[in-house]
Structure 1
């Protein structure tokens, strides 16, 4: 009378697996958002630390570059260091997502979240 309902268990398994994957994805996203990366400019004279979200957490400027006539150079180095840190943060997030996709058995190059 109810042929085909034997597959309902499979749907339940799929839903359970999807919920588990969603939980893992949320945990990974939070971990990546809270991770901190440091970018540099001027051969390390300026260092900026940002979170995975791109929020600036710290800035370290070597005092040797504080020369009034070099104000624009210092400003450019700060901007470059922040941009470098943000790019590293994005790269780390992509690496973590690729790692998770691989763990889920998804094809290489498939981007998460879907």
Structure 2
């Protein structure tokens, strides 16, 4: 605590910590837009790539599955790959959030509003 300021020294320390947390969260948000994860289905026949924030950025489909009689199977594989990529994105985001909370000395299970 700063001499002569009473409780204001603690407040200044809290404000500094809040600013540091805000800066780190902003950087993490920017980093999550650059990180990508890939989900797959059908033993790799369909791959979906998305950012760690969950935005789909690419879809790779092996041409061997393009058979008119298999339309529903292909659709299911595409959906499964996208869902896998989104799940991996969510896991990556939670991992990054946990790393930041740990760096800031906050509880590991602390939840943020995004």
TM-score range, shorter chain: 0.7 to 0.9
RMSD: 1.7
Whether the 8 Å CA contact 1:98–1:112 is kept in 2: the answer is no
Q: Secondary structure at the match of 2:23?
A: helix
Consecutive unaligned residues of structure 2, counting only runs of 5 or more, are none
Shift of 1:42: 0.2
Moved over 6 A (4+): none
Shift of 1:63: 1.0
Consecutive unaligned residues of structure 1, counting only runs of 5 or more, are none
Matched, 1:45 2:54: no
Whether the 8 Å CA contact 1:32–1:93 is kept in 2: the answer is yes
Shift of 1:104: 1.1
How many residue pairs align between the two structures? 111
1:50-102 CA distances to partner (integer Å, 9 max, x unpaired)? Answer: 11232211111111111111111111100110110011001100010011111
- Describe how 1:1-114 pairs up with structure 2 within 5 A: 5-113=5-113
Whether the 8 Å CA contact 1:36–1:51 is kept in 2: the answer is yes
